[in-house]
């Protein structure tokens, strides 16, 4: 049974490839705060940018602990 029109099959790209293509082709950056490749200062910068552009995440509301 086919789930796609003829000619629209093929391989799915992995999420990192989609992110890489988005950055290279459109200048769009998708970054996870949990990405192990980032250092703490880099993750903090990403978090601050996200809050500035889109507001706090639901899990961040209500203050910080620590």
Contact between 64 and 53 under an 8 Å Cβ cutoff? The reply is no
pLDDT given at position 2: 60
Indicate the number of domains in the chain: 1
Domain for residue 32, yes or no?
yes
Identify whether 35 is part of a domain. yes
Consecutive 10-residue averages of pLDDT for the chain (66 residues):
70 91 95 96 97 90 56
Helix (H, G, I), strand (E, B) or coil at 40: helix
Angle, vertex CA 49, rays to CA 61 and CA 30, nearest 5 = 105
Q: Check residue 3 and give its pLDDT.
A: 73
In a domain, residue 62? The reply is: no
In a domain, 60, yes or no: no
d(CA 23, CA 36): 19
pLDDT digits (tens, 9 = 90+) for 3-16: 777 767 778 889 99
Can you give the residue range of the structural domain that contains 35?
15-55
For the whole prediction, is pTM greater than 0.75? no
């Amino acid at each position: 049974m086919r789930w796609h029109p003829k000619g629209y099959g093929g391989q799915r790209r992995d999420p990192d490839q989609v992110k890489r293509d988005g950055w290279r082709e459109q200048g769009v950056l998708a970054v996870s705060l949990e990405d192990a490749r980032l250092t703490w200062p880099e993750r903090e910068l990403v978090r601050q940018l996200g809050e500035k552009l889109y507001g706090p995440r639901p899990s961040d509301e209500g203050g910080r602990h620590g």
